Amino acid sequence: MGAYEAVIGLEVHVQLRTRTKMFCGCANRYGAPPNTQTCPVCLGLPGALPALNREAVRMALALGLSVDARIQPRSTFYRKQYFYPDLPKGYQITQGPVAVVEEGHLEIPGDAAVRGCEGLVRIRLERAHLEEDAGKSHHDLDDTSSHVDLNRAGVPLLEIVGAPDLRSAQEASDYLKALHRLVVALGICDGNMEEGSFRCDANVSLRPAGGTAFGTRVEVKNLNSFRFIRQALDYELGRQAALLERGEPVAMETRGWDAAAGETRGQRTKEAAMDYRYFPEPDLPTLTVDPAEIEALRATLPERPDRQVRRWQEAYGLGVGETQTLAQSPAFAAYFEALAEASGSGKGAAAWLLGEVSRVLNERGTGIEAFPVAPEALAGLVRLVESRALSFGAAKEQVFPALLAGEGSAKAVVARKGLAQVSDRGAIEALVAQVVAENPGPVAQIRGGKASLKGFLVGQVLKAGRGQLDAKAVNEILAEVLAKD
């Protein structure tokens, strides 16, 4: 793919976690028996009038403020007309040329393989507009008929249109993760991708490396997992590159990701695209947002997850990759914050969370929410290791499992099992002297220049100290002894 550059822009549909639907009082809840959460408004019965859900507007504003977007003081709703059985009104209410949220940006880790260097890159958001969801058609419940469930008709959606700033499938997936983290952290979406609360379509094209004009784009629909988006885009980029290499044009079309076959498939060409005959929704007034409302809301917002990650890098000296993993979910991030704070060591906290804690979570197949050791309790262990009162080996092999088993605080476990690390100089010196005396051969070889044997002697001393010696002190004292004579 060296000759081409990928250009990707995502359109993400976020189902908002409001109590009620976008334009009526029906409950916004997933999984109720079919067609039990409907009323004349969301069924599109003649004469029924929509009324805007202000909670949905606040959620859109929260997203906008969190990506430093321009909040539009005035925006309007439009009707987008098309016919489909799950759209009872015959049109979808969406926002017109001006959206309530315009021009924001998010920071994601750039893909070093295509950017040529590591670091955060800024991905622009073109706009985020409010609209209503359609109902759901079921074509596979029986052999002879299709079924329509209108519980979802009228559920509030925020469509977030990203700029074509992404340069690889990896970046697209990282951007989607960053957005997912943000909407979950803001509490405006439950983030459930299997239930369709967070859906994504990807626009993808190639252009000659170093070029500025865009190539013809393909829209890949229905990418409902982070893995699928990476697989689908890698496949699609390969398909387009092969076409271009053969001198064939890329058709402007909509394709679907077939996860079972591992390929994208053509669905419809853009020439066949419908004319939606947009026009202003006459039954809804202009959506106005006043500055006081924006400032009041701003004061309640949590720290932006992408900024939080950057703060961790700067304050704790952590790498981009480490911080991305720590930010994998709001709960994980919160656990890390608490652990770093209580232990006084961001680096130590990160190492334990990404190491032993993640290993246990993977083994058990659970999230951090179900991890039995509170951050304050784990902090006790981190502090003992950081202050060199406990060796890392003993901490990992003995104290950590005891914490997991609920056998008391780290301090109590260390005292009960007699694991306190020996950093006492005299005790270490005695053991070093003993090991040096027992190993005249290796000692002579080291003094003769074979430095690689030092590790062997350190190991012998640690063993003699039954794993309780401060390894750093052992290294220092051994080096002093070997340098003498």
Q: Which residues bind ligand ADP (CB under 6 A)?
A: 7-11, 161-164, 203-205, 214, 217
Closest distance between Zn ion and the C-beta of residue 41, in Å? 5
HSE of 82 in the Cβ direction (CA atoms, 13 Å)? Answer: 11
Give, for 378, the enclosing helix (H) or strand (E). helix 375-386
Q: 17 or 21: whose CB is closer to Zn ion?
A: 21
Closest distance between Zn ion and the C-beta of residue 150, in Å? 9
Q: What angle do CA 107, 64, 214 make, to 5 degrees?
A: 55
395 interacts with Zn ion by CB under 5 A: no
Q: Which does residue 204 touch among Zn ion, ligand ADP, none (CB within 5 to 8 A, set by kind)?
A: ligand ADP
Cα 250 to Cα 386: distance, rounded to the nearest angstrom: 57
Considering only CA atoms, which of 343, 345, 369, 342 is closest in space to residue 357? 369
Q: Which does residue 161 touch among ligand ADP, Zn ion, none (CB within 5 to 8 A, set by kind)?
A: ligand ADP
Q: 156 or 164: whose CB is closer to Zn ion?
A: 156
Helix axes 471-483, 425-438, angle to 10 degrees: 60
Q: 161 or 360: whose CB is closer to ligand ADP?
A: 161
CB atoms within 10 A of CB 157: 25
Q: Which does residue 42 touch among Zn ion, ligand ADP, none (CB within 5 to 8 A, set by kind)?
A: Zn ion
Q: Which does residue 7 touch among Zn ion, ligand ADP, none (CB within 5 to 8 A, set by kind)?
A: ligand ADP
CB atoms within 10 A of CB 285: 10
Closest distance between Zn ion and the C-beta of residue 88, in Å? 10
Helix (H, G, I), strand (E, B) or coil at 213: coil
Binding to Zn ion in span 4-63, by CB under 5 A: 24, 26, 39, 41-42
Closest distance between Zn ion and the C-beta of residue 244, in Å? 48
Q: How many residues bind Zn ion (CB under 5 A)?
A: 5
Closest distance between ligand ADP and the C-beta of residue 175, in Å? 11
Q: Which does residue 24 touch among Zn ion, ligand ADP, none (CB within 5 to 8 A, set by kind)?
A: Zn ion
Give, for 237, the enclosing helix (H) or strand (E). helix 226-245
Q: 90 or 401: whose CB is closer to Zn ion?
A: 90
Q: Which does residue 26 touch among ligand ADP, Zn ion, none (CB within 5 to 8 A, set by kind)?
A: Zn ion
Q: 161 or 338: whose CB is closer to ligand ADP?
A: 161
Virtual CA dihedral for 194, 200, 206, 210, nearest 10 degrees?
Answer: -110
Q: Which amino acid is at 419?
A: L
Q: Which does residue 203 touch among Zn ion, ligand ADP, none (CB within 5 to 8 A, set by kind)?
A: ligand ADP
CB-CB contact of 106 with 122 (8 Å): yes
Strand order across the 156-162 sheet: 70-71, 101-109, 120-132, 156-162, 4-15, 198-208, 218-221, 253-258, 263-269
DSSP state of 259: T
Closest distance between Zn ion and the C-beta of residue 196, in Å? 19
End-to-end CA distance of the chain: 61
Cα 95 to Cα 161: distance, rounded to the nearest angstrom: 13
CB-closest chain residue to ligand ADP: 9
Closest distance between ligand ADP and the C-beta of residue 399, in Å? 50
| Residue ranges in contact with Zn ion by CB under 5 A | 24, 26, 39, 41-42
